[in-house]
Chains A and B, each alone.
Chain A
Amino acid sequence: MNNATVIIATGGANLSSLKFALGRLGVNACITENPQKIKNANHVILPGVGSASDAMGRLSKAGLVDTIRSLTQPVLGICLGLQLLFTHSDENNASCLGIIPGRAARFLENPDLPVPQMGWNSLTGLKDIPLLEGVKDGDYAYFIHSYALPVDEYTCASAVYGFPFSAVIQYKNFLATQFHPERSSHIGSLILKNFLNS
């Protein structure tokens, strides 16, 4: 059970709030950049703060790009971790992991909508997937981001900030939330619990 749940160390990112959130669900997650530990885990979480190009640089330096692409167990990308799963990010024109086709674009500057979006926003257009069991249309989650993925066939919940964007995605065993479940009160906790049960 030692490697049951791992958080991929993306370097510099503050992971204590995520580790505490899992701890409140009774899971002692290990933070690692060891490819073997990640491959052997039952559940893998890919967090991320900072820029897409920096995060990709760190993953590549740690030899994790192919490791992550080849994972077959449930994987949860969080915030930048969601964007990294896609082909490309407009942020410094970064090539990402390329697991899911798509491109992260920056929010448009608008006097009424500060970028980054930083705060609570409601979820809409929820699909019936196990990760969202118990979550309702209109429930709020906590977002901090300047880039987002447009709504597409992999979108399982969206939110609106100037335009609609992907808040939750699922592609095969890869799940991801653009918001921070570890900072989204009981809704976030429910989503993390659903992920750990997947």
Chain B
Amino acid sequence: MGDIIELASRYRDEGADELVFYDITASPDGRTVDRSWVNKVASVLDIPFCVAGGIRNLSDAEIILNLGADKISVNTPALERPGLINELAKRFGTQCVVVGIDSTSEQNNYIVYQYTGNPNLSRSSKRNTKSWVKEVQERGAGEIVLNCMNQDGVKNGYDLSQLNDIRKICQVPLIASGGAGSMDHFNEVFSYARVDGALAATVFHTSQIGIPELKQYLLKMGIPIRPPAS
């Protein structure tokens, strides 16, 4: 708890544009989690933030939004019951509803994975990523976070070709996830895949990349972004 607030405050001060809090173990365990930390995070943040993990119904989402989160992100529960996206969008507005998609590139095809929070349960959902991207937009997703699993954790850069393919069929904001290892990777993903945002965890948590330096670099490369706090 103390760590979450400390980290959130640090990223706020360094000039992060948005924060996402993942409880990636929530879905496979089938458990309800204590959400009181959301309110504490809301009290220190003056930038938007999103909560992901274990949101299965309107009441889960309502609790989180009422505690001060700006958006909620659904992944596995939406694959199990796609109507959840419609319900969330109707009740809270599409701007609140982020759909997270874990996707792998297999033989010129993109496949959606589910239960990715637990390596023992993680498996193909048999869904094609492109058709799922189209479907979630029709159902009311206001934003899509595409986590390209082939790249995740390997720091070799974002999956530019997959992101570029998905960009062509994605009319809502598209956030790239998985693979960031250097400042150049961020420049590439904005320049070549035309994503609206780039998400990263490890390189920021370990301070391998500092947000102020990254933003200065991207501005120098001509990417239009909010400058770091001076």
Contact = CB atoms under 8 A, between A and B. Distances in A.
A183 B66 contact: no
Contact of A20 (B42, B47, B173): B42
Interface residues of B, number: 30
A21 interface: yes
B196 interface: yes
Contacts of A49: 93, 95
Contacts, number: 65
Contacts of A50: 93
Taking residues whose C-beta sits less than 8 angstroms from the other chain, chain A's interface range is 20 to 34
A184 to B, nearest CB: 7
A119 B197 contact: yes
Interface in A52-77: none
Contacts of B66: 14, 16
B123 interface: no
Contact of A114 (B17, B65, B173, B225): B173
B226 A140 contact: yes
Contacts of A185: 12, 15, 46-47, 226, 229
A188 interface: yes
Interface string A7-21: 000000010110011
Nearest to A120: B226
B43 interface: yes
B47 A118 contact: no
Interface in B33-52: 39, 42-43, 45-48
A23 interface: yes
Nearest to B229: A186
A144 interface: yes
Nearest to B98: A118
A118 B143 contact: yes
Contacts of A122: 226
A8 B43 CA distance: 20
Nearest to A113: B171
Interface in A26-49: 49
Interface string B143-178: 100000000000000000000000000011100000
Contacts of B17: 119-120
Interface of B: 12, 15, 17, 39, 42-43, 45-48, 65-68, 70, 93-95, 142-143, 171-173, 194, 196-197, 225-227, 229
